[in-house]
Amino acid sequence: MSSMLKAPPSNNFRPKLNFLCGGSRTRRQCNISFGSRVNVAFSKLRTSVPLVLCMSTPTTIQHQVTPMSKHNDVSIMVNGCTGKMGNAVINAADSAGLHIVPVSFGSTEEAGQTVEVCGKQILVHGPSDKESVLASVFDEHPNMIVVDYTVPAAVNDNAELYSKVGVPFVMGTTGGDRDILYKTAENSKVYAVISPQMGKQVVAFLAAMEIMAEQFPGAFSGYSLQVLESHQAGKLDTSGTAKAVISCFRKLGVSFDMDQIQMIRDPKQQIEMVGVPEEHLPGHAFHMYHLTSPDQTVSFEFQHNVCGRSIYAEGTVDAVLFLSKKVQSKADKRIYNMIDVRLLSHQGQFRRSVKLNCYAFFFDECADHENSTCIVTEKEDVALSREIPKKMP
């Protein structure tokens, strides 16, 4: 584990690799266009040597996106606005042009307080009158999405409240009984995004781990695992992200109990042992996973370190906008996670992701393939085919 600690920020940067591999082979012409399908056209290519297009990452095509300032038809109520995460979400939502509902839920001690965020006065209500207040606010703002960044102990009660009133919600608070949380939302038929991780880039990493676990079950069978996570002292529960990653490692054949996670909450240890910058002690999320082979000759390390809260706040706003669209379209599916938000919100809208990974195109040297076209169709499993010229010499 020692090799995982105090990794300086500069270690996170690596020189960019050239992912378009084809050796020193001369290319005469290669045109790639993207639409409802992908066409890779090779003109006047005569060779008996396989031409390989190797790309380790998806090709992403950006299209015009509606400016975020036009989302003022969506209202957002942030519960836990007195906390740093709730405060960050309100700032991000305001920047995105969402309408901030000037009401929030907090503890008994916070009840009656007025909190100013982004120049807006937000009245905090305590637990005693939550149901009547929420029902009244929802009547006034029928397009409202509730965001929950409260405390782990309130997760299940709050979810039950949102479900009873019928208000769509984004559960950003970790902890609580997650099985009961999902059942509560499912039984009520309410729309919800429930995720232990709201950071878009970290979610992409989690998705990659899920894919690896599904495609290569048992690949790390026999390996030992060490997990360390460091968060600000105010985070009371174990990292939900770490638990999600560990679930993937279990599918990969690793035996590991959640109580083996090493939680670091002491600021001195965070600076000296983990390498957290002192200015980010109040808000950070460092995760380190170390795998070792049974004979100690092979090791793998995974890290994702976050300083600050903006990555989570921006992801939460994405989840709100995504959920609002699902409510408006009356989607059949009701419960989503952040992987759904990343994949479905971009599908057919402003991202075309095409996996071109080591596909080889073989051409007979005696044939004229001037009009040959490679077609990659967008299906669940990307299919590859080639249109052969009707007239062969």
Q: Which DSSP string do the residues of 282-306 spell out, in sequence order?
A: TSEEEEEEEEE-TTSS-EEEEEEEE
Q: Which of 235, 251, 287, 290 is catalytic?
A: 235
The model's pTM:
0.66
**Collapsing DSSP states into helix, strand and coil, what is residue 204?**
helix
Number of continuous H segments (helices) and E segments (strands) in the chain? 9, 21
Q: Specify the DSSP element, H or E, that contains 163.
A: helix 155-165
Residue whose C-alpha is closest to residue 309's, from 213, 197, 148, 207: 197
CB 347 within 8 A of CB 205: no
Backbone phi, psi, residue 262, to 5°: -90, 110
Distance CA 361, CA 22 (A): 12
* Portions of the chain given CATH number 3.30.360.10: 200-307
Distance CA 159, CA 360 (A): 51
Q: Which of 231, 304, 326, 369 is catalytic?
A: 231
CB 147 within 8 A of CB 320: yes
Distance CA 171, CA 197 (A): 10
Buried-exposed string 226-253: b where 16+ CB fall within 10 A, e elsewhere: bbbbbbbeebebbbbbbbbbbbbbebbe
pLDDT at 6: 55
pLDDT at 252: 98
Task: Say which amino acid occupies 47.
Answer: T
CB 222 within 8 A of CB 249: no
Other CB atoms within a 10 A radius of the CB of residue 364 amount to: 11
Distance CA 196, CA 175 (A): 8
CATH of 200-307, one of 1.20.120.450, 3.40.50.920, 3.30.360.10, 3.10.20.30: 3.30.360.10
Distance CA 84, CA 78 (A): 12
Task: Say which amino acid occupies 353.
Answer: S
Other CB atoms within a 10 A radius of the CB of residue 274 amount to: 20
Could you read off the pLDDT of 214-268 as tens digits, one per residue?
999 999 999 999 999 999 998 888 998 999 999 999 999 999 999 999 999 999 9
Question: How deeply is 42 buried, as exposed, middle or buried, from its count of CB atoms within 10 A (0-12, 13-18, 19+)?
Answer: buried
* pLDDT < 50 regions, the chain: 2-3, 7-69, 348-393
pLDDT at 297: 98
**Collapsing DSSP states into helix, strand and coil, what is residue 145?**
strand
Which residues face 10 on adjacent strands?
A: none
Residue whose C-alpha is closest to residue 356's, from 42, 57, 25, 49: 57
Chain-centroid distance of CA 95 in Å reads 20
CATH topology of domain 72-194+310-344: Rossmann fold (3.40.50)
Could you read off the pLDDT of 69-104 as tens digits, one per residue?
456 689 999 999 999 999 999 999 999 999 999 999
Q: Does residue 249 come out as left (phi exceeding 0), alpha (psi in the -120 to 50 range) or beta?
A: alpha
In the residue annotation, 231 being an active-site residue is answered as yes
pLDDT at 149: 96
pLDDT at 150: 95
* Portions of the chain given CATH number 3.40.50.720: 72-194+310-344
Distance CA 303, CA 242 (A): 11
pLDDT at 347: 55
